[in-house]
Amino acid sequence: MKIDVITLFPELVDFPLSQSIVGRARKNGLLELAFTNPREFTEDRHKTVDDKPYGGGRGMVMMAGPVYKAVKKVSGKSSYKILLSPRGTPFSQSKAAFLAKKKRLTLVCAHYEGIDERISGFVDEELSVGDYVLTGGEPAAVCVIDAVARLIKGVIKEGSLETESFNEGLLEAPQYTRPSVWRKLPVPPVLLSGNHKEIEKWRKARSLEITAERRPELLEKTGKDR
């Protein structure tokens, strides 16, 4: 998969995605990240990409022109174009799975007070990573790319993905490792029993309990009983 990122600050996306699992995916050719700066498409010597908002207000707004030219240059017909925005559709595991099936993505990162509204007509979708405001779209792009990349075939062993949170619409059951007793806190005996049927039963029950306690709305979506 190739992901093009339109950003004024490529290092904010490139560095955190150069480490660990995603970093290895890039080195192994499973994922290609490319960065394009809208400043490359400005028409003045100061490389201006923002201006004061019409109608007044604080802050500066990114101009549509440079962003549009950047998107047009890097996005082929097959590229699925996404504008990262706090007012977009909430990002989810199911959305990550949908995007992981694409061969090419283009992520547009806003900055300052956002991008001229007219650019929204040239993307396929607006996505939000949560109900809060970031200083720019770059941290959101890292979240989206990380979630999508790990679903690309070959990046993570398929069996490891099956028990993760949200895979079945529920939160993941607790995990433990050695030692079996730590600070007088023991590992649940069933996990030491070797009885895989009972272990699976326990994990499903705990998954339901934790989801009901912390994210009850997920149970309503999946239709599972508490």
Write out the chain's pLDDT in tens, 226 residues: 999 999 999 999 999 999 999 999 999 999 999 999 999 999 999 999 999 999 999 999 999 999 999 999 998 888 999 999 999 999 999 999 999 999 999 999 999 999 999 999 999 999 999 999 999 999 999 999 999 999 999 999 876 676 666 767 899 999 999 999 999 999 999 999 999 999 999 999 999 999 999 999 999 877 665 4
175 and 115 share one domain: no
In whole angstroms, what is the distance from residue 157 CA to residue 165 CA? Answer: 16
Residues 21 and 125 in one domain: yes
For residues 120 and 168, membership in a common domain is answered with no
- 144 and 175 belong to one structural domain: no
Same domain, 87 and 198: no
Q: Which residues contact 120 (CB under 8 A, 6 or more apart)?
A: 83, 126
Domain end residue (candidates: 104, 121, 149): 149
Q: Is residue 191 part of a domain?
A: yes
Would strands 185-186 and 61-62 be described as parallel, antiparallel, or unpaired? unpaired
Domain boundary among 87, 114, 149: 149
DSSP letters along 16-73, please? GGGSHHHHHHHHTTS-EEEEE-GGGG--STT---EEPPTT--SS-EE-HHHHHHHHHH
DSSP label of 113: T
Q: What is the pLDDT of residue 183?
A: 97
- The pLDDT assigned to 225 comes to 57
The residues pairing with 106 across neighbouring beta strands, listed in sequence order, are 4, 81
Q: Which domain holds residue 183?
A: 163-222
Question: Do 177 and 133 lie in a common domain?
Answer: no
| CA 130, 135, 136, 140 torsion-angle sign | negative
CATH code at position 199:
1.10.1270.20
**pLDDT score, position 157:** 83
Within 8 A by CB and 6+ apart from 223, the residues are: none
84 and 171 assigned to the same domain: no
Residues 36, 139: one domain? yes
Report pLDDT for 77.
Answer: 82
pTM: 0.89
CB atoms within 10 A of CB 118: 12
- Coil vs helix vs strand at 133: coil
For residue 156, tell me if it sits in a domain.
no
Identify the CA nearest to 111 among candidates 130, 139, 88: 139
Q: 125 and 196: one domain?
A: no
Counted domains in the chain: 2
Q: Residue 206 falls within a domain, yes or no? A: yes
Considering the domain architecture, whether residues 76 and 182 belong to the same structural domain is answered as: no
Residue 155 lies in a domain: no
φ, ψ at 97 (rounded to 5°): -65, -40
We report the CATH number of the domain holding residue 96 as 3.40.1280.10
77 within 8 A of 71, measured Cβ to Cβ: no
For residues 99 and 21, give the distance between their C-alpha atoms in angstroms, rounded to a whole number. 18
Q: Write down which residue in 118, 149, 180 finishes a domain.
A: 149
